[in-house]
Structure 1
Amino acid sequence: MSNIFLLIAFTSFIFALLLTRQSQDFSRKIIRNSLGLHDKKQSHLHFYFHDIVSGRNPTAVRVASAAITNTSSTYFGAIVMMDDPLTEGPEPSSKQVGRAQGIYASASLSELAFLMVLNYAFTEGEYNGSTLSILGRNPPLAAMREMPVLGGTGVFRFARGYAQAQTHSIDYNTGDAVVEYNVYVHH
């Protein structure tokens, strides 16, 4: 008799759970076309990045450093916040197409190499209002550097690709630099 009672109680409990169950699902399958993924494009963007650390209106400023930063040959531990203009040409007066906004930090004890964490926020043309996100290693003294594009917003939603950086010019007295970028992105 007690086994029948336990069976009825257990069955009633399971039935009650099924009736009062609320959805615990936090994910669902989606159709690629509903997100605009049926027409992937390849784009090549070319622009210049102006990192201005001197003067009355710098676009990149050191916001933190370590105890050893100023005695380190690589400035290890320096963290710089930036809001650098992106332009069509290398001249500062060239048409601005966006901003490079984020952080770079000196992350190597043995050579000058930055950890770059930034967004290219575009303000012109078909990319106006869209962004690309970059996260990677940038040794600025190397002739060519490559960093991954990890994603984006707007027309660059679900973006993947890479950015190649090449120093166009640097003023060793002020530290100001102009860097040429070629960005190849699948979006």
Structure 2
Amino acid sequence: MDIFVLLCLMFTATSAAARGVAFDPKAVDQWFESLSYAKERVTKLHFYFHDIAKGKNPTALQIAQSNITSKSSTSFGSLSMADEPLTVGPELNSTIVGHAQGMYGSASFSEIGLLMALNFVFTGGEYNGSTLSLLGRNPTSKEYREMPIVGGSGVFRLARGVATAKTYLFNVTSGIAIVEYHVTVLHY
């Protein structure tokens, strides 16, 4: 079996299990066979990412650092695990559409450049139970950042695309960052 197909089956099983849906490999096989007839779709999403690094209810926690992180102007070598709310508007109390779950770490000596490995896990509406996977570099000091979408599950099977990020609010004292995301993906 092709490794790509095996990985897709594993991701589909994980996504189905997370939704409480029984995994049916025959259904996935039938879906793959129908791809030659399927039309590729474009979906555009817009949401806000809430990173809260301090306080009573942080959404990201540092889980590791190198022996030079505290001496580095860019926090090089720090690694954080995140479960960040994704909302319709910039206010934390606006409607939650999902969560960004994964990790990010400081990967540059010269600027604050994060390596982002996140799954956007959608929890409502037509995308409920579907995911998009982001893997890329996020130079947070730049006004406009672009990161690749490298996969997806559920509605977003075989997704590929781009996520653009722009900081809406950043407060060093409170440890809060709100980032506006626009995501465009091709999928079946």
| TM-score (norm. length: structure 1) | 0.82
2:25 corresponding residue in structure 1: none
8 Å CA contact 1:52, 1:59 repeated in 2: yes
1 CA distance for matches of 2:49 and 2:159?
A: 20
1 CA distance for matches of 2:38 and 2:110?
A: 46
1:95 corresponding residue in structure 2: 95
1 CA distance for matches of 2:167 and 2:83?
A: 18
Change (3 A) 1:108 1:37: farther
1:17 corresponding residue in structure 2: none
Superposed displacement of residue 175, structure 1: 2.2
2:154 corresponding residue in structure 1: 154
| TM-score (norm. length: structure 2) | 0.82
The alignment-based identity, stated in percent, is 54
Paired AA for residue 45 in structure 2: L
Higher mean displacement: 92-101 or 171-180: 171-180
8 Å CA contact 1:32, 1:38 repeated in 2: no
Q: Number of paired residues? A: 162
Paired AA for residue 162 in structure 2: Y
Paired AA for residue 103 in structure 1: M
2 CA distance for matches of 1:31 and 1:126?
A: 19
Superposed displacement of residue 38, structure 1: 1.1
Matches within 5 A, 1:28-177: 34-35=34-35, 38-177=38-177
Q: Which has the larger radius of gyration?
A: 1
2 CA distance for matches of 1:37 and 1:130?
A: 22
8 Å CA contact 1:68, 1:76 repeated in 2: yes
Q: For 1:31-54, what per-residue CA distance to the aligned partner results, in whole angstroms no more than 9, with x for missing partners?
A: 965248612110110000000011
8 Å CA contact 1:100, 1:118 repeated in 2: yes
RMSD over equivalenced CA pairs, Å? 1.9
Unaligned runs of 5+ in 2: 6-29
2 CA distance for matches of 1:94 and 1:159?
A: 27
